């Protein structure tokens, strides 16, 4: 059995004292959890408010998201985007991309969100922007590759946020088993040993790693 990373009492206390989601996000959250077989992958209320909070502080011009899913986290980050800014989000699966697009339209954010359907490894090199905020939240075995692809295109004050860096507690096990947990462990070590950056790991939900250039 996997350990309970954060006590469910602490999680619900945090949710109670965090600003509520807007109705449109609450609906996407509820529908995703109820109807999607992998509904647990959604960022959810508290992490979503964190992404929105950070985005509002940075006021990014260019945001990149790797792993759109049903569009929830993209809409949270979109809340802080600078006037005239663009958010690019990449999703491999057509069905999830269709749902996300529908959600962007309902939220009336489709005028500055571009959804790319395909493999992020192919799409990232085609996007000619300096990123102010990057959210890495796709296949765990590619995290190091995504990090290396975006670091050179991160603006001077840009921030990378990587999700699931505790990987359901599996990185705490000895020995670490499973390709995803091993990949996340390798990613955390890779960043920790990279002299170009500084980083802080937060134990929000499944773990977030915040990374910026020195």
Ligand X SMILES: C[S@@+](CC[C@H](N)C(=O)[O-])C[C@H]1O[C@@H](n2cnc3c(N)ncnc32)[C@H](O)[C@@H]1O
CB of 45 to ligand X, least distance (A): 11
Helix (H/G/I), strand (E/B), else coil: 120: helix
Of 50, 72, 131, 187, which lies in the binding site for ligand X, with binding defined by CB under 6 A? 72
Q: Which of residues 21-60 bind ligand X (CB under 6 A)?
A: 41-43
User: Minimum distance between the CB of residue 55 and ligand X, rounded to whole angstroms?
Assistant: 13
Work out whether 133 is an interface residue with ligand X (CB under 6 A).
no
- DSSP state at residue 20: P
Peptide bond into 175 cis (omega under 30): yes
**Does residue 67 touch ligand X according to CB under 6 A?**
yes
Output the six-digit token pair for 40. 């647990």
Q: Please, which residues have CB within 8 angstroms of residue 7's CB and are 6 or more apart in sequence?
A: none
Residue number, 25 or 58, with CB nearest to ligand X: 25
Nearer to ligand X, 55 or 73 (CB): 73
Query: What is the SS3 assignment for 76?
Result: helix
Strand partners, 114: 88
Q: Which residue lies nearer to ligand X by CB, 46 or 90?
A: 90
Out of 138, 154, 183, 209, the residue judged to bind ligand X by CB under 6 A: 138
Q: Does 188 bind ligand X (CB under 6 A)?
A: no
Provide the token pair at 209.
């790693």
Give the CA distances from residue 82 to residues 19, 141, 153, in Å, rounded to whole numbers and listed in that order.
Answer: 21, 32, 18
Q: Does position 206 bind ligand X by CB under 6 A?
A: no
Site residues for ligand X per CB under 6 A: 41-43, 67, 69, 72-73, 90-93, 96, 119-120, 137-139
């Amino acid at each position: 059995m996997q350990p309970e990373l954060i006590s469910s009492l602490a999680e619900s206390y945090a949710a109670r004292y965090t600003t509520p989601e807007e109705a449109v996000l609450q609906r996407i959250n509820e529908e995703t959890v109820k109807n999607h077989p992998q509904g647990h992958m959604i960022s959810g209320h508290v992490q979503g408010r964190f992404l929105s909070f950070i985005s509002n502080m940075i006021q990014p011009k260019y945001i990149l998201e790797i792993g759109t899913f049903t569009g929830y986290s993209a809409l949270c980050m979109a809340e802080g985007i600078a006037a005239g800014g663009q958010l690019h989000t990449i999703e491999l699966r057509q069905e999830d991309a269709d749902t996300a697009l529908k959600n962007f339209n309902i939220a009336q954010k489709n005028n500055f969100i571009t959804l790319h359907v395909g493999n992020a490894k192919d799409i990232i090199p085609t996007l000619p922007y300096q990123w102010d905020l990057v959210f890495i939240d796709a296949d765990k075995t590619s995290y190091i590759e995504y990090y290396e692809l975006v670091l050179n295109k991160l603006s001077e004050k840009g921030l990378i946020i990587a999700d699931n860096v505790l990987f359901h507690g599996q990185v705490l096990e000895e020995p670490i088993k499973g390709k995803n947990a091993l990949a996340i462990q390798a990613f955390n070590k890779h960043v920790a040993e990279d002299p170009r950056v500084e980083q802080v790991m937060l134990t929000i939900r499944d773990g977030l790693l915040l990374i910026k250039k020195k």
